[in-house]
Each structure stands twice: as C-alpha cells, then as structure tokens.
A and B are shown apart, each in its own frame.
Chain A
Amino acid sequence: MTDPLQQESTTAKDLELESRPRQRFELEDTGFDEVPPRFRKFYRRWRGPGDQLAPNEVICPVCKVVIRSTRELRPGDRVYCMPCMSRLIVVRGEDGRLEARVAY
C-alpha cells in the first residue's frame, strides 16, 4: 500500500456522498524529495495561505505538507503523512473545506 489514503470512510453520514464514485487522479512527481522516490508523487510542499487544495489533497496539520491521493478524499478517510509519520483522519472543517485531524 503506497497511497496515503489507507482506509476509505464507510460511516453512515457519508452514504449519500459514497453513492457517487470517487474521482480518480493521475499523480505526477512534484519535486518533493523528503520521502523515498516511490512515494514522492503523494506529497507536495504547501505554498502558504493562498494555496488551493484539490479534492484529492489535504494538509497535514503537524508538518504542513500537502498529502495527495489517487482518489478523491472524503470525511472519515484515514490518511498517512509519511514526512512526519502522523496518522490522520479527514474531517469537514468549519469553512466547509477538508481538514485532517491527528489520530493519536
């Protein structure tokens, strides 16, 4: 398993969302060299507050790297941040955008 999306959510509140298939994404190497080569396309540097995230992306709150999956991310998903080795859960933030919470 190399994709940072390790487990897709299956919670009831997302059933409506889950009935629509997840978008797929083709990932390219973004020059992020902090992880071994085979994992590099799954991460990119965050360019600061103006940086727009795609539906398959979420910021790691611990180390501020953008985590990228080949699949669209949804609330309840479990993702892994390799640069800081945190396990995260995707949630819907107050502003409606996807955020990640650390799972201790």
Chain B
Amino acid sequence: MADFLTAYSIQNWLESCPQGYLMGTVYGHRPEDEEPAPLLENEVLREEAIRTTVQLVVGERCALAASSGLINAAPDEASKRFLATQTLDEARHVEIFTQRLLDLGVPKKDLESTIQHFANPNLVKFAEVLLEKVDKKDFVAGVVGQNIVLEGMAFSVFEMLHAVSEPTNPKFARMLSGTIADERRHVGFGENRIGSLIKQYPERKADVEKLQKEMSYWMLATFADAFRNNPARAEFKRIEGELSRAGVHAEWQGVDLLTKDPEEMEQILADTVLKEFKTRLSRIGIEYQTPDRP
C-alpha cells in the first residue's frame, strides 16, 4: 500500500500537471481562445451555459470542501499529501469555472447571487450528504463519496460536455480536458486507497453502500432537471439540428449526441454513470445499491 502511494507525490503532480498539461494555459484554456460569439449572442444559449457552469462551480466547491476536509481525517502521511494536491486541483476547478461565469457576462457583483439562483437544489443535497461524512472525519465514507461517487459522476459529465464542446467551443473543451486529466488522478487515488482500506475495515461496507445509494438518487434528480425539465430544451434541439445538418458530430459512448433528444441524452449519461459506479464499487468489494428513480 505504502508503495503505491509514493506515486501520488507532490513532485509527480508538479511534473505532470502545472509543468505539464497546464503549461501556458490561462484559466485552463489557451490564452487566445474565447467563448464563441454565437453563444454569447443567443440569450437562451448564454443563460443555459451559465446554468450549466453554475452546477460545475457547485460540484467543484463541494469537492474543494471535501478534499481539504479529508486531509485531517486521512490515516497516513502519503494520503494527506495526495489530498493536498487534490485540494489545489479542486480550487483551480472552482476558479476556472467561476471565471467562465464572468466570461459569459455575469457581472462580478452578481456572481454569488447568480450561483444561488441557478444552483440545482438536488445537487446541493448531493453535496450535503457527502460533506456530512467529511465533517464527521469519516475517511472511508468520505473517500468513497468524493473520489468514487462525486468524481465518477464528474468524470462522465465532463466527458460528455467535452464531446459536445470539442466541435463547438474549443475554449470550454480545453478547460474540460485539463479537468478530466486531474480527475484521472483523483479517481485513481479513490479506488487504489479505498480498495485496500475496505479490506481492512469490512464492517464499514453497509454504511458506504447506503451513502452511495443516497448520493446516486440526488445525482439522478439533478440530471433530470438538466435534461428532461430544462426550460431551454426546444432551443437546444433547434441548435443541435442545425449543427447536425452542417455535418457536426459529437461522439460519446458510441452515439452522436447531436442527434439525440434531451431525454435520450439524460438516459445515456445516467446509464453510463451508474454502470461505472457498479463496476468501480465491485472492484473495491462494495455492493452497488440501485437508487430510486426520481
């Protein structure tokens, strides 16, 4: 165990991240890239981009609170140091997505009220369930909740957003690919560290399974609001159709997202994330609990 943790060092983080894929970026993107004009000029799309970005800020603020809180709950030095690098990653994610809100035209003075206004209540619940464990210094539940459930979800959400943004918004796509690269380390730590801890503390399984079920429910409810109940779905469909006819494709999980209805996209995302939870949890010896469907 101690052996694998040596790779999660600050030195390693410096070489691969700030001195690697983030080199030369400004708020996570190339200095010359901007939000595309067709997005800034279309009020419905701009508001939708703000709404989506607010959810990213909410999720990343939760990850920042969780990763920093878990440092003092970690039972070993190497985990503490890894979580310190993760804390900086999460703070960076909060910062770049907050900067995107400004780039999308949110006035600085309205930043907090905009976040409050658009924050999805189900996502807020999702975060509360996790942070309660962190506050209790429950390391096992905290790492499963953060590095497997929260980040497992974030990983797929970012990938899906990246697939749609790659052909339409290179600035946002670059921000996302840097974030995905960070997430790889976080999910790697979660699985590797908890895989050995669960073996050590099998009595913690039931609690962790309950946590996963609860967080998954709030996640599905958040997805439902983002797709099915989205006020901009008609405009989305129109733009998707336009892009599709112009020969633009957004491949993810073997489907072209631009040809799909919001309901279908929600289904693909939810299925992908839940399937991932199931395989990730079973690898570390935890039985996946099917959440209720909102």
C-alpha gap A61/B253 in the complex (Å) = 15
Q: Which residues of A contact B181 (CB under 8 A)?
A: 34, 83
Main secondary structure of the interface of A (DSSP, over half): loop
On chain A, the residues within 8 Å of B12 by CB distance are: 85
Contact B184 A65 (CB under 8 A): yes
Cα-based distance from A102 to B283 in the complex (angstroms) = 8
Bound complex: CA A27 to CA B65 (Å): 41
- Report the Cα distance A49→B184, complex, angstroms: 19
- B232 on the A face (CB < 8 A): no
Asked if A102 and B184 sit within 8 Å, CB to CB, the answer is no
B21, B187, B251: the one contacting A48 at CB < 8 Å is B251
Residue contact B254 to A49, C-beta cutoff 8 Å: yes
The listed residue (A33, A49, A50, A84) touching B185 by CB distance below 8 A is A84
A35 at the interface (CB under 8 A from B): yes
With A34-B20, A35-B20, A48-B253 known as contacts, the answer to whether A102 contacts B192 (CB < 8 A) is: yes
Q: Mark B237-257, 1 if CB is under 8 A from A, else 0.
A: 000000000000001111000
**B218 close to chain A: CB less than 8 A:** no
Question: Is B8 in the interface zone, CB < 8 Å from A?
Answer: yes
Which DSSP category, helix, strand, loop or mixed, fits chain B's interface? helix
State whether the Cβ of A62 lies closer than 8 Å to any Cβ in chain B. yes
Q: Is B184's CB under 8 angstroms from A84's CB?
A: yes
> For residues 53 through 104 of chain A, which have their beta carbon under 8 Å from a beta carbon of chain B?
61-63, 65, 81-87, 101-102, 104
Q: In the complex, A84 Cα to B180 Cα: how many Å?
A: 11
What residues of chain A lie closer than 8 Å to B16, measured between beta carbons?
Answer: 34-36, 82-83
Q: A33-B20, A36-B20 are in contact. Are A86 and B188 (CB under 8 A)?
A: yes
* Other-chain contact of B188, A33, A48, A50, A84 (Cβ < 8 Å): A84
Q: Given A104-B196, A104-B199: A83 and B253 within 8 A (CB)? A: no
Which residues from chain B contact A62 at a C-beta distance below 8 Å? 184, 187-188, 191-192, 280
Question: Does B230 interact with chain A (Cβ within 8 Å)?
Answer: no
Decide if B32 is an interface residue (CB 8 Å cutoff): no
A62 to chain B, nearest CB (A): 5
**Which of B8, B21, B252 meets A33, CB within 8 Å?**
B21
Within 8 A of A (CB), among B219-268: 251-254
Question: Could you list some 20 contacts between A and B, CB below 8 A?
Answer: A34-B20, A35-B16, A35-B20, A36-B16, A36-B20, A48-B252, A48-B253, A49-B254, A61-B283, A62-B187, A83-B188, A84-B184, A84-B185, A85-B4, A85-B8, A85-B188, A85-B189, A102-B195, A102-B283, A104-B196
Lowest 9 A-B CB distances belong to which pairs? A84-B188, A104-B195, A63-B184, A49-B254, A85-B7, A34-B181, A84-B184, A83-B184, A33-B21
